[in-house]
Amino acid sequence: MSVFDAPKIDCHVHVFDPARFPYREDTPYRPAGQEIGTAAQLIAVMDAYGVGQALYVQPNSGYFTDNACMLDTLARYPDRLRGSAVVAPDTDAVALRRLKAAGVVGVAINTPMFGVAAYRDIAPLARLLADLDLFLEIQVQDDELPALLPLIGDAPVKLLIDHCGRPAPEKGLGQPGFQALLDLGRRLGPAGRAVVKLGGEATFSRLSFPHEDAWPYQRALLDAFTPDGCVWGSNWPFLRAAERIDYGPLLVHLERLIPDPATLRRVLWDTPRRVFGFAD
């Protein structure tokens, strides 16, 4: 069975639909042209490649904390999509419960865009997320993770790390940020409190596809987190891509990275189905 026939859950997609949901005036970036991908286009791509379900990550670009487009999309495809919202740090439990009832499984933060200092007051939100069994989804780059983790505090919140932690490939596996990520996987992965996304190579690789400089990092993460703590995300519709990206070749690369069909199934289906609560 090839990767195209195997059951799949894509754990990192976005939707941009400014015609129906105008961008916020204060958005950090306004996606346009080929960056726009509507809910209908997303489902068409999923159907074309045999992707059963997906995690919709609310983008800071375009919408920031305006989750209306995401919530509308989740309501239209409740069996196929779960969401990760962007909220203000002082969001209360009532608002978070409302999001969870709508299909949201976590809250996303983005230090490459806003800096670590922007999340210095994140600990109370992390405690609420832990109480509600929601993920704190973290996008970091380089060595930001060691600076961010103390800000989260000691709440037993589940952590979801985007795009392999976006290491700097030229700095090697020993760079502090990546070592902190591997330690997170070894310590919290077995308890189900830490999950990492193996995709998104284009966000940190210094090379063109198939991004060979990312492979050692992906393999190290697979070893530290085990397949029960690893999921895959395409990053569709490939916001701010430096070159053309197509969905199919990403799947082929993942199959080459994880040639064992049983292990590939765990990463593409069993693990995300379990951790995000998807039905068969």
Kindly report which listed range (124-133, 186-195, 262-271) carries the lowest average pLDDT score.
186-195
Cβ neighbourhood burial of 100 (10 Å; 0-12, 13-18, 19+): middle
Residue 1: pLDDT band with limits 50, 70, 90: confident
User: If you average pLDDT over residues 124-138, what whole number do you get?
Assistant: 98
Which is higher by pLDDT, 280 or 104? 104
What ranges in the chain are assigned the alpha helix state H? 39-48, 60-63, 68-76, 93-101, 111-114, 123-131, 145-152, 176-188, 215-225, 247-257, 261-265, 271-276
Residue 280: pLDDT band with limits 50, 70, 90: confident
Say if residue 127's pLDDT is above 80: yes
What is the pTM (predicted TM-score) of this model?
0.97
Structural domains of the chain ordered from first start: 8-276 (3.20.20.140)
DSSP 207: S
Q: Residue 202's pLDDT is what?
A: 96
* Residue percentage of the chain with pLDDT more than 90: 96
Q: Tell me the C-alpha distance between 124 and 132, whole Å.
A: 13
Q: Tell me the C-alpha distance between 149 and 144, whole Å.
A: 9
Q: Residue 73's pLDDT is what?
A: 98
User: If you average pLDDT over residues 6-27, what whole number do you get?
Assistant: 96
49-95 pLDDT, tens per residue?
A: 999 999 999 999 999 999 999 999 999 999 999 999 999 999 999 99
Burial 114-151 (b: 16+ CB within 10 A, else e): eebeebeebbebbbbbbebebbbbbbbbbbbbebbbee
Q: Residue 71's pLDDT is what?
A: 98
185-218 pLDDT, tens per residue?
A: 999 998 889 999 999 999 999 999 999 999 999 9
User: If you average pLDDT over residues 24-43, what whole number do you get?
Assistant: 95
Return the structure tokens found at 148: 């961010």
